[in-house]
A and B are shown apart, each in its own frame.
Chain A
């Protein structure tokens, strides 16, 4: 019985850690979506490093880790970072990336030195700053309605609800300023205020995730789910929803994988998020690498089939039979036979005949049109026609024919077949 209780307690601890990871990831995804669409991902990176001295100073002044003062310290440090970057950018004309590079590395270094020097008075560890201690989250609890709830979970949950509420309230404003800040400002929206709010929100999300996953891996939680969601869907509310889902999934799967392989949960969560992004890059509908490769292969196959039909039609026009050579050509012929376009001996059947005539008609009409309007020499007419014959529809053919005066033959003297 004791063992069962112990096991139950262990499972509960893991559940709390997983829940914390999921809530942190969800909060980061809400902010991260806005950062990614506004091309401010690197400010997220900068802020996640730069909140460290804010947190350390707040703790040194007596705030508790995960408490209100630490949140305030982090937000102040974040706004300081952005303000200093702005000063360097506008004041002395440094490029924004170099300016951010100077500011956030300096602040981060300051934080690490402060932690090391005040090690006796402060309950933070330099390595915990870097990659968090999600595994220890369940041990620091508050009694809430008779249930022991981890403090980090409460902070992260509260921050998530605040962020979600804020974004929902200001949805219209964020939507307008996300894609065209200049137009939004011209329309009278307080774009600068929204940006400041977004930066403060980033600081909140960062500091909520700080204890769980550490400063640098928060960057992964901010940017990776949002960037993956952006590949999958297009409308902003869908992007945010999918980003939250991907973040939560990454938190859960990452924690379980880290438990399985006995390694750092925060690191594994970042890796799982990276895998999610890689899958989105490969499999996204429409713009994914596989979708594009599939579309390109489909086009190449159609072109090969149509070319084969046209070759056969031209051969029969001259009373010959076209040869079948090459692997692709044989595959194409196999398909044309199976689909009833050519007979077993290679000659065109009625269906193939009709399609081939339209291809050749497109080809020769285009040659006639080029010969008339582009004043190209005869030997320059074939290549463009060979390419465009696959893309002309009946309406375009009709207009071209009307434009060149319904000719009977092309500039090479060969007959233009009729439209079906």
Chain B
């Protein structure tokens, strides 16, 4: 209890780091949602567990950077397998995603529980990577994750034009001479990095939610990419802070699920209240339209039901 703040230094740094992680996940997730790569990120996130276990087994060091580097390797490996399955087999994309997700997660569980059974030092606590537990983070770890998040947001800012172009009209981008494959690869690699950065907070099973829910909520409020990025970052930040706070207050409660529920609450609010696209706004529009029709002497039940702002991804 030092300094002017009512909380320990470590707690504050962890909260700050997680806020940065949540914000970056929201920003990077926007690109994933726009390019429809969310479920590939889900497969990659389930694959991180095997990498974390392998990193511990190979190095014997239970340090966060080492474990996360291992997770990143298997995440990227799973994405490569996904691309190869699509290229070389007749298995369709949805099944291929489910195969990579299920089998890589099974491998992670096998390694983890085999290592625990053999009493390999440090393996017992690795289960925190399943559902996330920020209470176990040190200030140095949180700072590392925060810095990586800031770097990810900077990257998005630098490459925004290219990614948006590819996300909205890949054939046009290719025809205009943009290296679509390279841009796509960079985007997916960034998603994989973000999955790994979010891993300690949300866990392998739920980290995708941080990449999907805030962008989907932000999408309800706006049709502009820049606004969506800012809103999504703010939503992700809020959800992360709420998750850290509540899971710290309630014993045994993992951070990941609480973060996801906070993000889901924001999404639900957006879904009902957003101007133009929200359920309430569209109900009001519909009623106004019906009143207009009845003033004009037409049957209000025949008024068109399609509300504005319905199209788009």
With A39-B92, A44-B98, A92-B310 known as contacts, the answer to whether A277 contacts B103 (CB < 8 A) is yes
B107 at interface, CB cutoff 8 A? yes
With A101-B42, A109-B256, A116-B254 known as contacts, the answer to whether A264 contacts B36 (CB < 8 A) is no
Contact (Cβ within 8 A) A116 B130: no
* A183-226, CB < 8 A from B: 216-217, 219-224, 226
- Which chain A residues border B36 with CB–CB below 8 Å? 95, 97-98
Contact (Cβ within 8 A) A217 B105: yes
Contact (Cβ within 8 A) A93 B209: no
B220 at interface, CB cutoff 8 A? yes
B39 at interface, CB cutoff 8 A? yes
With A95-B313, A216-B205 known as contacts, the answer to whether A126 contacts B219 (CB < 8 A) is no
Give the secondary structure class of B's interface: helix
- Which chain B residues border A97 with CB–CB below 8 Å? 36, 38-39
Contact (Cβ within 8 A) B261 A109: yes
- Which chain A residues border B46 with CB–CB below 8 Å? 216
Interface string of B84-114 (1 = CB under 8 A from A): 0100111110111111011101111111111
With A263-B114, A263-B117, A264-B110 known as contacts, the answer to whether A109 contacts B264 (CB < 8 A) is yes
With A106-B209, A224-B102 known as contacts, the answer to whether A266 contacts B109 (CB < 8 A) is yes
- Which chain B residues border A99 with CB–CB below 8 Å? 216
Return B77 CB to nearest CB of chain A, in Å: 13
Contact (Cβ within 8 A) A217 B102: yes
Q: Which residue of chain A is the closest to B311 with respect to CB atoms?
A: A93
| Residues of chain B at the chain A interface (Cβ within 8 Å) | 33, 36, 38-39, 42, 46, 85, 88-92, 94-99, 101-103, 105-114, 117-118, 127, 130-131, 205-206, 208-209, 212-213, 215-216, 219-220, 250, 252-254, 256-258, 260-261, 264, 267, 271, 277, 279, 310-313
A227 at interface, CB cutoff 8 A? yes
Contact (Cβ within 8 A) B110 A267: yes
The contact of B106 among A108, A262, A266, by CB within 8 Å, is A266
Contact (Cβ within 8 A) A106 B252: no
Select the residue from A99, A216, A217, A266 with max chain B CB neighbours within 10 A.
Answer: A216
The contact of A230 among B33, B90, B310, by CB within 8 Å, is B90
A362 at interface, CB cutoff 8 A? no
Contact (Cβ within 8 A) B98 A219: yes
A387 at interface, CB cutoff 8 A? no
A-B contact pairs, 30 of them (CB 8 A): A36-B92, A41-B92, A42-B39, A42-B97, A93-B312, A93-B313, A100-B39, A101-B38, A102-B212, A105-B212, A106-B213, A116-B257, A216-B205, A219-B101, A226-B95, A227-B99, A231-B90, A263-B114, A263-B117, A267-B106, A267-B109, A267-B110, A267-B111, A270-B103, A271-B103, A273-B103, A277-B103, A281-B88, A281-B91, A289-B89
**A273–B99 alpha-carbon span in the complex (Å):** 9
Return A202 CB to nearest CB of chain B, in Å: 12
A369 at interface, CB cutoff 8 A? no
Contact (Cβ within 8 A) A289 B88: yes
**A36–B95 alpha-carbon span in the complex (Å):** 6
- Which chain B residues border A261 with CB–CB below 8 Å? 110, 114
- Which chain A residues border B209 with CB–CB below 8 Å? 101-102, 105-106, 109
Return A59 CB to nearest CB of chain B, in Å: 17
The contact of A108 among B88, B206, B213, B216, by CB within 8 Å, is B206
A60 at interface, CB cutoff 8 A? no
**A271–B111 alpha-carbon span in the complex (Å):** 11
Contact (Cβ within 8 A) B102 A95: no
Contact (Cβ within 8 A) A281 B89: yes
Known A92-B277, A93-B313, A117-B250; 10 more pairs at CB < 8 Å = A41-B97, A91-B279, A92-B220, A97-B39, A113-B253, A113-B258, A117-B253, A231-B91, A258-B110, A270-B110
